[in-house]
Amino acid sequence: MSELFQYDFFIRSLAGAVFAAITCGLTGTYIVSRRMVFVSGGITHASFGGIGIGYFLGINPVMGAAVFGVLVALGMERFSYRDMVRQDSLIAMLWSLGMAVGVIFIYITPGYAPNLLTYLFGSILTITTTDLLLLGGLSLISILIFILFYNTILMVSFDEGFAETRSMPVKGIKSMMIILVALTIVFNIRIVGIIMVLALLTVPQAIANLFTSNYKHMLIYSVLSGMAGTLSGLAASWYLNIPSGATIVFTLVLMFSMAKLIKSVTG
Amino acid sequence: MTKLLEVNDVSAGYHREPVIEKACFSVSQDDFIGIIGPNGGGKTTLLKVMLGLHKPFSGMVKWFLEDNPQSARQKIGYLPQINFFDIRFPISVFDVVRSGLASPDNLRGRFSRKQNHHVEEVLRLLGMSRLKNKSMGMLSGGEKQRVFLGRAIVSNPDILFLDEPGTYVDHEFESEMYDMLKNLNQHMAIVLVSHDLGMISSYIKSIICVNRVVHYHASNIISNEQLTTYNCPIQLITHGDVPHTVLNKHTQR
Ligand SMILES: Nc1ncnc2c1ncn2[C@@H]1O[C@H](COP(=O)(O)OP(=O)(O)O)[C@@H](O)[C@H]1O
Ligand SMILES: [Mg+2]
């Protein structure tokens, strides 16, 4: 019985690591190439507000974060489009506002908030079936979106003004992608936590970018280097018995440094 | 001559501040119009209004290509004014040129063999075949400009808009490019923005001066006095058949 439980938990963690690498590898490439890292940081932290509201209402905090994260992401996109506020100031405002909302709602929720640290630092070892289904479904959707709309995503990301002159549905594509960004962030919070999820969205891309500057190759290499990082990080956290989220991030950055070193030695 | 586009008493700007006023002219089939004016005079804004990328405060832009503005846009080629320092995007030369064939009916971006072939042809015309798989970030400024020219003409548009295509390219390619445009002008109208008249004066057929107020001038010969009355402080350098008129450099750059 206990062995079966061990096995189940082993498989779940592996699946979580693979799904994280797929979703973050693909969507992270979109984020990095469009220089949206700061926007993504804003969405990440703002979604903490949704976690707090989730606790308060007694619903799954991940669901709260998903709804909140998507709304914030669409808001950032829309207001920056209207050019009413400086976009970076707006992002900083929503970034802190989300955190503040989260803290307040967790404070006024009676009793204590179980697993709060899980959302801040991640815990792939306690990942639930619901989390896995969400992350697995998102992996499938991400793969489909990038296969179906590859050329359109590429041209809109590269030059949206030009895409508009070709009557491409620029707003629609950008909205679809910002929703994908928000969901990718929120569902991966379970893996490495709010504090570190940005690493999953940027470090695999930085590794890929050392070897290619072709968008399609970047998508594939990012997923592969992400998998190498999450799986070996997971293994290391098992053997050394240290927190999984932190170990995965550490491993990814170590991989980047080694790749950079190899690259500079071999030229 | 078939009229393609009419700009009717258009004023436009940003945040309620007018940048261009009283734009009134039309573009016809064989036109080769040069839009000139000082930096910040509103040339790019005028182009964006014509393209429907920027809404005017008043007046209107009327297209005669198609009833439906969306399909009209498919017959336009556009080379935007670009800040090349920012281009490090991981996209290949081939993909950039081919994006000139994108259309909302083809969101999946599946291009036919014939279309791909045509992209190759345009790359050859621009002397860029060798670099077609290179990433944009690795090209020189002049090479990037060629790629953007390719993207603008690959769809064989009825009307081609070019915003300062001469920036970043060397003089040799610049005159080569204008010769190419002269050829293209046999089957498409061209609207070309430039901040100096020098190189383009012998290619264009008419001139629009933009310095907040927009003046249309129906020939390619423009004198010092006319430029002064248009309040269009640009530098005139002689080329070919254009009368020798040299304007004083304006203090503002
Ligand atoms: N997006 C914008 N927001 C606010 N002001 C702008 C914007 N784009 C241009 N301007 C202003 O409009 C004026 C005209 O700009 P522009 O049309 O780019 O001139 P040109 O192309 O002739 O150099 C300039 O003063 C510029 O600062
Ligand atoms: Mg300009």
- Per CATH, the homologous superfamily of domain A2-261 is ABC transporter involved in vitamin B12 uptake, BtuC (1.10.3470.10)
Verify whether the Cβ–Cβ distance B89 to A157 is below 8 Å.
Answer: yes
Q: Specify the higher pLDDT residue, B82 or A151.
A: A151
User: What residue ranges define each of the domains in chain B, with the CATH number in brackets?
Assistant: 1-65+158-253 (3.40.50.300), 86-156 (no CATH)
Verify whether the Cβ–Cβ distance A158 to B135 is below 8 Å.
Answer: no
Q: Answer whether A163 touches B (CB < 8 Å).
A: yes
Angle between helices A197-211 and A170-192 in degrees, nearest 10: 110
Identify residues whose C-beta is under 5 A from ligand 2, the ion. B 43-44, 81
Is A70 within 8 Å of A183 (Cβ atoms)?
yes
pLDDT band at B253 (very low <50, low <70, confident <90, very high): very low
Q: Answer whether A211 touches B (CB < 8 Å).
A: no
In tens, the pLDDT along A85-102 reads 677 888 999 999 999 999
Q: Specify the higher pLDDT residue, B195 or A156.
A: A156
CA atoms of A235 and A247, how far apart (whole Å): 9
Residue the block writes with tokens 């890929």:
A208
Domain ranges for chain A, please list them.
Answer: 2-261
A167: nearest CB among B91, B103, B138: B103
Task: Identify which of B155, B24, B132 has the alpha carbon closest to the alpha carbon of residue B79.
Answer: B155
Pick from B10, B11, B14, B210 the residue to mutate for probing ligand 1's pocket: most ligand atoms within 8 Å of its CB: B14
Residue the block writes with tokens 């039309």:
B26
What does the mean pLDDT of chain A come to?
A: 93
pLDDT at residue B240 greater than cutoff 60: no
ipTM of the complex: 0.90
SS (H, E, C) A177-214: HHHHHHHHHHHHHHHHCCCCHHHHHHHHHHHHHHHCCC
pLDDT of residue A243: 93
List the end-to-end C-alpha distance of chain A, in Å, as a whole number: 53
Which pair of structure tokens corresponds to residue B216? 């249309």
CA atoms of A95 and A72, how far apart (whole Å): 9
Size of interface A-B (CB pairs under 8 A): 80
pLDDT band at B113 (very low <50, low <70, confident <90, very high): very high
Distance from CA of A233 to the nearest CA of B (A): 28
Q: Which residues of chain A lie closer than 8 angstroms to B135, CB-CB?
A: 213-214
Verify whether the Cβ–Cβ distance A161 to B80 is below 8 Å.
Answer: yes
- Other CB atoms within 10 A of residue A253 CB: 15
Query: What is the pTM assigned to this prediction?
Result: 0.89
Tell how far the Cα of B194 is from the centroid of ligand 2, in angstroms. 8
B53: nearest CB among A33, A165, A215: A165
Tell how far the Cα of A206 is from the centroid of ligand 1, in angstroms. 35
pLDDT of residue A134: 96
Verify whether the Cβ–Cβ distance A166 to B108 is below 8 Å.
Answer: no
In tens, the pLDDT along B148-167 reads 999 999 999 999 999 999 88
pLDDT of residue B245: 43
- Tell me B92's DSSP state: B
Distance from CA of B121 to the nearest CA of A (A): 20
Q: Kindly report the protein residue whose alpha carbon is nearest to atom 27 of ligand 1.
A: B40
pLDDT at residue B243 greater than cutoff 60: no
Q: Is the CB of B12 under 6 A from ligand 1?
A: no
A218: nearest CB among B71, B90, B111: B90
Q: Is the CB of B40 under 6 A from ligand 1?
A: yes
pLDDT band at B248 (very low <50, low <70, confident <90, very high): very low
pLDDT of residue A2: 60
pLDDT band at A153 (very low <50, low <70, confident <90, very high): very high
Task: Identify which of B198, B247, B246 has the alpha carbon closest to the alpha carbon of residue B220.
Answer: B198
Q: In what order do the strands lie in the sheet with B189-194?
A: B58-63, B3-14, B17-28, B213-217, B206-211, B32-36, B189-194, B159-163, B76-79
CA atoms of B171 and B173, how far apart (whole Å): 6
| Enclosing H/E stretch for B88 | none
Distances (CA, A) of A62 to A20, A117, A123: 15, 13, 13
Q: Kindly report the protein residue whose alpha carbon is nearest to atom 25 of ligand 1.
A: B40
pLDDT at residue B31 greater than cutoff 90: yes
Verify whether the Cβ–Cβ distance A161 to B53 is below 8 Å.
Answer: yes
Nearest atom in ligand 1 to the alpha carbon of residue B45 is: 17
Distance from CA of A88 to the nearest CA of B (A): 18
Tell how far the Cα of B16 is from the centroid of ligand 2, in angstroms. 19
The percent of residues above 90 in pLDDT, for chain B, comes to: 54
What does the mean pLDDT of chain B come to?
A: 85
